[in-house]
A and B are shown apart, each in its own frame.
Chain A
């Protein structure tokens, strides 16, 4: 069997001097920091041979995306997120203007400021996308703190005796509505901030929580202006 030929060592005189006596292999094997990135980031070296640490801090932002309601449009949006390594924390979509066939997609995403800007521009590039508004940035510009964000949850709790009474009492405190019940269970309907829903669910856990369904975040900004 013919053996695999080996090329002559290319590294010689002038080049070695240029590299201060180190071979390329040595250079390659001394990457500054070896950290694998979970998500798309600005990679400072642009090379798999020298991976460097991301220094920007990730933030949560809420985006509103106005799109033509046509087949595949949601796949385009979420495919962009998965394909480019962006995160989706929450996603809500519904047709909002029936005559114009426009849907509004609300996405809560997490990324560094640089990545968030990229996400916005990448979304704008999708042909059926009309507008992309970063509600978090807009709220900062308007000086209103954050965007208004609300979620609806249906929470099923089963139990008897003391736990059942306690569940109902807490539901009242949280202003959750009972929308279905028999002697062994309740289904609560709860609307509010994400943190409120998270808290309610946590409280219901020891009281016989069976299942949860959440809509994801619907969001818009305060004030008279549109998105």
Chain B
């Protein structure tokens, strides 16, 4: 079997149905093999970055590894952004790169770059295959490393002569490497300690993250069970949205820099914090030395380096979130008979915070408020089989605040790296995995232009993605920071030459919609859903709206900036009928 045949065989043996890629000189033998089979479908993107983000969207929405195939040199360097993105958000991504023939490596050959050197810090692991007889083993190992433990991206760099060379193919085997043994089962004594702490809590909070989604649907199920059993309030990071349903009665909304007032205040004032599959990112904690000063912290994570990295855990539990939650739920049922009445004063306090209505905004009948646009989008799509991706910026935060996620794997966003241009190709990847679903990229006018070329891919592969642009002509989040922290000097955050997005959609062969009137928005959204081809929706929103609430950089959770609407009168009327229901 040739090396190129082995690549295709290894993809099949690892259950790969789709891969995203772009051909070039150093991967031609592999493309030749792909041409001669039908089991693995290749999605031809327009830029390698698009291939990476599409594979990420594919992975995030299915729980399987996303696969990308690119050529040497520029193909590999263009893959760097999605690789780092996948590393920071723990997305299983297998990237196969072509390389110049082994005899030319180091000679500054055409389209040569030190791929393993460049991608070493932005992958979980990478390999340069120098012998065709190592190829099958390495490919299987690559899938194993990418998908187990804390998931992440891997790169397999295959020189062209290795692709041509003949060797022996070996089928996949489990855990081939002795040095790589991620610990999945949590220490039972620690879990017991955690449950005992939780049973004593008067002001507890569960803070869940992307790890719950990564751990699989069972982990989300167990999380919901734990919340029901304990009656604890729950908040989640940006990456963890959907693990607990937004309609759930214990839901406080997202936390962090643009999280809800109640979630952040509850984090600040809690006495026991249960962090499940999250990593105390700076966008979550705010000012570290003022972060939740009076709480005992339980931290469940599969990555030992995440524990005690930013915040010291009182009860660290190293293990897979799903397994640990299973033990935790079982132990809680068996041992803890906590009276939920103990939590009443805490819920009462939360209801007061919630009454501030921190996501409030001033409604406008003339101009579409961006928050309103997201709300209408949600109301018109919540009954459908919907997947949401986003770019990065204000629109991303508004989407996280105002779109309610009921299930895991439905929300694809670039959290850790904050990659503008992520959403459109990610939507493409999601749509390839779920051809009948409604896939919407909630975008900003600046972000969407960073990978807009993938519209062409969407047309080619009949992927009817919907690109819903909140168009305010600004890099809104950049402008917001300039207003807050740089003396209102709006340095280069305004786009003076904006393309006509409707015409752009039509130029690609898609469908364009423009809307700038609030009363026309619902019909326009319905039109977007009805059209069975890629749509670019140019939603003209209020240009100067800013994203609140906000914890300014370097401030604590209880130093939030709130929108104007969260007035003191609102606080005075804190506990209304709705609030009492919760208590």
- Residues of A at the B interface (CB closer than 8 Å) are 2, 4-10, 12-15, 18-19, 24-25, 27-28, 31, 42-50, 52, 67-68, 71-72, 75-76, 79-80, 83, 114, 117-118, 121-122, 124-130
Contact = CB atoms under 8 A, between A and B. Distances in A.
A47 to B, nearest CB: 3
A15 B121 contact: no
A114 B312 CA distance: 9
A223 B304 CA distance: 28
B435 interface: no
A49 B554 contact: yes
A8 B546 CA distance: 11
Contacts of B484: 10, 24-25, 28
Contact of B490 (A4, A28, A80, A118): A4
A6 B488 contact: yes
B288 A25 contact: no
24 contacts: A5-B494, A6-B488, A7-B488, A7-B544, A10-B484, A10-B546, A14-B562, A14-B567, A15-B564, A24-B552, A28-B484, A45-B554, A46-B286, A47-B282, A48-B553, A49-B554, A68-B179, A76-B120, A79-B120, A121-B305, A124-B305, A127-B145, A128-B177, A129-B179
B180 interface: yes
B247 interface: no
Interface of B is mostly: loop
A10 B552 CA distance: 14
B494 A14 contact: no
A148 B238 CA distance: 48
B561 interface: yes
Interface in B191-246: none
Contacts, number: 115
A215 to B, nearest CB: 26
Given A28-B484, A121-B305, 10 more contacts: A5-B494, A7-B479, A12-B564, A15-B561, A42-B288, A50-B553, A118-B309, A121-B307, A124-B305, A125-B303
Given A5-B494, A125-B303, A25 B554 contact: no
A2 B487 CA distance: 21
Nearest to A66: B179
Contacts of B308: 114, 117-118
Given A8-B544, A9-B488, A114-B308, A83 B494 contact: no
B583 interface: no
Contact of B554 (A4, A47, A83): A47
B380 interface: no
Given A68-B179, A72-B120, A75-B117, A47 B544 contact: no
B485 interface: yes
Given A75-B120, A130-B179, A45 B288 contact: yes
A49 B305 contact: no
Given A13-B564, A71-B128, A118-B309, A124 B287 contact: no
B399 to A, nearest CB: 21
A127 B125 contact: yes
A57 to B, nearest CB: 17
A15 B567 CA distance: 9
A7 B490 contact: yes
A15 B544 contact: no
Interface size class of B (residues with CB under 8 A): 35 or more
Nearest to A25: B487
A77 B286 CA distance: 31
Contact of B288 (A4, A43, A79, A127): A43
A7 B282 contact: no
A128 B179 contact: yes
A43 B304 CA distance: 20
B178 interface: yes
A129 B305 CA distance: 14
Contacts of A50: 287, 553-554
Contacts of A25: 484-485, 487
Contact of B287 (A13, A19, A47, A117): A47
Contacts of A15: 561-562, 564
B108 interface: no
B38 interface: no
Nearest to B285: A46
B124 interface: yes
Contacts of A83: 121
A28 B485 CA distance: 6
A42 B310 contact: yes
A221 B233 CA distance: 49
B121 A72 contact: no
Contacts of B552: 24, 27-28, 49
B324 to A, nearest CB: 18
B496 interface: yes
Contacts of A6: 488, 490
A5 B304 contact: no
Interface string B91-119: 00000000000000000000000001100
A121 B288 contact: no
B483 interface: yes
A55 B440 CA distance: 47
B581 interface: no
In the A-B complex, the 9 residue pairs with the smallest Cβ-Cβ separation, listed nearest first, are A47-B554, A50-B554, A121-B305, A46-B282, A44-B289, A127-B125, A47-B553, A45-B554, A130-B179
A31 to B, nearest CB: 8
Contacts of A130: 178-179
Contact of A2 (B177, B285, B496): B496
Nearest to A17: B568
Contact of A127 (B121, B179, B287, B488): B179
B350 to A, nearest CB: 20
B145 A118 contact: no
Contacts of A125: 303-305
Interface in B116-142: 116-117, 120-121, 124-125, 128
